[in-house]
Structure 1
């Protein structure tokens, strides 16, 4: 009996998720057709854009488009998803498929009763940074209305994970530190190639521990702050902990009044997992990186910003030859980031993957921070 229920739920879940992804794919096509040479496809696209007039770039609902939104978005979404659901009658028995169809119909009825408003479609004064990866919450879907050419997943985040449409890069303003290094330099080239607007900042020139006033204008212009500076031997605490902490918190404070949450990408290290391994030359480096990772857990969970923690294994740089080139490391990082991943393992050893559990569930108290660093 229990096994039968589990099979029923599994079949219903697969039908729901896959049929939802079918509409998400159509949704993506409707945006792609905006500039199609075919007048018919452009017409279909223009009908869909009514949905973005109903809930605009400012995340405010315009009731004047409520009826058009129902005709050109809500009903097509329902019908497409129902067709996708019905196709599963070819491989699954009818009871779980009927259950999904009934659920979708109930959801449609509730949305129609509210004239197009639902959990993912309501006015918001500010989009939160707490956005789930596998299931779409209202903060995640709101990003689609702020950045209409990405974030297409509607319930289960299958489409964006496959298509790489879970992060906006083109047209956004990036402020990157550490661009004189191998990773930062390669990242600048990759982002500019993808259409980003990139500005750089240099440690010791644009900012130093306790002195960030010269950075304020750059931080105010940025949509995304990328921290890829650091040190392995000298002044590790300031380079790897203090400046990271202070820049993130300054940037987050600046972004409090923005519609979309500020976004931060910070470069960690596999040393967070394996520590200094008894090597004196790694002691300060390991301690500073582990301490920042402990602090970064609060950013990762915060609703005030979108925080992405990039953890690479060794890559070739001025400090020596690594397991991969910096360009490869950047390519792997962007592969995950464009799929909405917030903990980003860039590894051949697998240690960065194992480090996720330490990063996500570790006890902050185990990473001691010298008073001078605070």
Structure 2
């Protein structure tokens, strides 16, 4: 009985030990819940950040309020100086106007704390009074910075006082400014010779309108000519690609190297025929819609080793280089005047077995596949 009990205890001990070892080496670790301390720390940091942002906004608002209060105080001081009439009346009126303009777009104006229309009327009154005493272009410029009927009326009233001081070259502009502030009503402009000034202004405006229309027509003609030239260049470019890039379109009779290829363009089909039935040694001729043609010759009688050169109808030429002097393996690049470069890559580094892909200068692409994996014997099909 005692041996059974001891055996039972040993078995239990073994089971417990195995369970502990399993927990150490075989059991999958369970994700532990986040302790409260890091979460609380993060919350405190976020709260501090929010508090800092609120404080920053409050400080910015307080600073803006201080600036506005200072500006309002300066406005009151300027008003007092104008009302006292003891100093330079013109300078005081202009200073008050500057303070009014400084309040435009402010929080005080937006909230209705100050009425900008009322302030503009007040400033126009000060400027008008100063203008009555001593007319000047400085006062007129200050009036021009204000809006509203009172400012318009004061500006128009100042025009006769200043007309005699206007230089001859500035009369037309001066008359136009006065007419604008009069709402286009020429009858409100009254000074000696005003009709002559108005006629000169009208002729100037008509001439400016005529020049503007002529300039617009000229730009339209230039744009139309540019668009036409670009369209012609694009069409010519497609023809040049067809002529100078080997197998740039669908193969004739399924064999580009022997029978050439055909490319459709906006002007019609460009048909390429191989010289003596062998494009890769003898070159080819491309016939364009309209009767012109381009001729390609293989460099040193071997296009796929030394490249080729295409003489285009406009006297320019496109040149092709074999990459690493091995077109069938490494592909080739064709430089086309006015368009850029067409780049050809051999599929699996074997153009004559697996075909090639050509990236055209304007973004198009031509893919060629060797018929029955033998381009030289069976030709290529391109699309």
Give the TM-score range, shorter chain: under 0.3
Alignment TM-score, normalising by the size of structure 1: 0.25
Greater strand content: 2
Report 1 or 2 for greater relative contact order, CA contacts < 8 Å, sequence distance ≥ 6. Answer: 1
Alignment TM-score, normalising by the size of structure 2: 0.25
